[in-house]
Amino acid sequence: MRIRTYSRGHIVQKFREHCQSLTADKKAGYQREFEELSYTGQDFPCRAGDLSANKEKNRYPRILPYDHCRVKLCPLMSQPHSDYINASYVPGGYTSHDFICTQAPLPSTMDDFWRMVWEQNVQVIVMVTALKGSSKVMCNQYWPPERGMGCYGAVQVTSMSCHYGPDCYVTTIHLRHRGQSGERHVTHYHYPDWPDQGVPKDPSSLCAFAERVRKHLEDVSPARPTVVHCSAGVGRSGTFVALLWLMRLCLRGIPPDVYLTVRDLRRHRVLMVQNLGQYIFVHQCLLHWLGRDKLGPSTHNAFRLQPQQPERPKHSRRHGVSRGRQPDRPHQDPEATRLSLGSSLQTFLPGKLLRRILPASSTPSSHASRDTEL
């Protein structure tokens, strides 16, 4: 399918102008867009998570997966409702199952978590929360210490090595399954310096982390979803997935639209990108990533980031989260605040190999755009 793509310089210029328009009048444009997102997806049923048999499996009682895109485990013999886990398939640039966003495992759900990792053939886990914050457990440690081994149901988990990278820990994990042959390898990325319901202090840190994960995922089969979790699996997880998705679009010369990205994510899991600060931060990170002086040659399909200087991770805090239910309503785009490349951007195409924003039919200037087939 042929779509129109744009040079990096053109994307940077137009996205910067767009962010400036949203920032005007005390960030009124950001506020307006984010308020409209509150209506997205919240009429979708969550019957499985509401079942009394599954309530104890939810870390937060109001953060439940939608039935239409929840991850279903293979049922265990003679165990009703054993297919349930608080996890959702979400898109991220290629298919509707690029990522699994889930809550941090509880002591009672660690077996289910590793069962999901095995059944979904996951190769990468991204954790964007500290284990504890303000004397509250944000996430129970669900993997053994370095060189340690633990059994979680039928899955044997062994932490082979742990290395410190820029603002993150990277652990190599080996998995075996009782009754099945073979060994699998999982890379666990832990980015702890992200406060609950907040944002990191510096966008460069998160951009470097997201770029590192993105490059790793280039070598992973798109048929194998990547697990992303924070504590509830919505705010920080949604922010990270949105940023990674938009990076992928930009690398293909496709102009980013944060609003449409978050709207699509919220149709797959409640409260993805949970608050206004996180919504604005996605824009800030993307603008930082697009406009860095250290980016490589101007090209619509390749950016090169220099490695960041590491800072020691800090613990973060976790607060309660809430979820309302309001009917979904269509988004009305204020023309003055929408990103324009000779025309406004249209919509995503769910189910396509590349879930992307398509420019409208009118033709931008020839020096800033080009046609390509993806």
Residues with a catalytic annotation lie at 230
Give which of 163, 138, 158 is closest to 148, Cα–Cα. 158
Paired with 228 in beta bridges are 101, 126
Distance CA 330, CA 60 (A): 28
Strand spans (E) along 36-135: 70-72, 84-90, 99-102, 124-127, 132-133
Q: CB of 233 within 8 A of CB of 146?
A: no
Axis-axis angle for helices 276-291, 8-37 (nearest 10): 180
| Residues with Cβ within 8 Å of residue 26, at least 6 apart in sequence | none
Give which of 54, 48, 83, 94 is closest to 68, Cα–Cα. 48
Distance CA 75, CA 143 (A): 23
Chain Cα centroid distance, residue 350 = 17
- For the chain, what's the residue count? 374
Paired with 137 in beta bridges are 132
| Residues with Cβ within 8 Å of residue 280, at least 6 apart in sequence | 27, 30
- The CA radius of gyration of the chain, in Å to the nearest whole number, is 20
Question: What's at 216, amino acid-wise?
Answer: H
Question: What's at 44, amino acid-wise?
Answer: F
Q: CB of 340 within 8 A of CB of 365?
A: no
